[in-house]
Amino acid sequence: MLEVGQGRGTKSLLLSHAFEVLDKENPHITAVELVKGKSHVSKRRLKTAGLSDQVTSLTFDATQFVSPEVPEELNQSFDVVFIDAPCSGLGTLRRHPEIAWNLSSESLYDGGELTVLQTKLLQSCSSRVEVGGFIVYATCSLSNSENQQVVDDFLASPEGSQFEVQSLFECPARARLTPEAQEFLDTCITPEGFLQTAFASADCDAHFMAVLKRK
């Protein structure tokens, strides 16, 4: 598995635990983070948790997978590429109201700075997905321009022509949930098959997730 946007390693820790729960054989995560300081924090936390052998943490710009200078550890295909995309964070407004003052409206428009970066990440990372593998694209935003519009733009691009939406209703892990958890998950799945939590439907931050399968 390739994790893009590792941050300080929290998702790596959670994913490692999820692999254990799902009895995944020989799990390994290769994780990339643009900010070197965050990569160092991730390595330290993973070492403390005894997971250094299961997670490889690298400092790398994930928009550059088509570059000839890709590290050896990344010069391969993965069954799953999980992209925690840089986003506006609008889904966390209830905890971070200052976000509203720090964002420019232009960055959120289709074609704005954030959406261009998000689409570029999808296009670049798609080159590392094996046939039959998946991209999981996630944000903590409520903005359609950062979510479904980015996915639609990617699917309409040459790189995205090899992918199709995989409905969350068909997610294998859904069957492992309790009936109550399945019922809640189903209320968060859009008609298009994406995950969209919102303040109105749950006492949690707003998140978006799309699963795309390579044909």
Q: Are 161 and 155 within 8 A, CB to CB?
A: yes
- Number of other CB atoms surrounding residue 17 within 10 Å: 12
E strand or H helix that includes residue 3: strand 2-4
Q: Nearest Cα to 122, choosing from 28, 114, 25, 88?
A: 114
| Residue 87 annotated among the catalytic residues of the structure | no
Task: State the Cα–Cα distance between residues 150 and 85, nearest whole angstrom.
Answer: 11
Catalytic residue, candidates 87, 125, 140, 171: 140
How many Å apart are CA 155 and CA 108, to the nearest integer?
19
Question: Which amino acid, one-letter code, is at 207?
Answer: H
Helix, coil or strand: residue 175: helix
- Amino acid identity, residue 7? G
Distance of CA 81 to the CA centre of its chain: 8
Place of tokens 């994913």: 15
- Picking from 126, 120, 118, 121, the residue whose alpha carbon sits closest to that of residue 80 is 126
Which residues are annotated as catalytic?
140
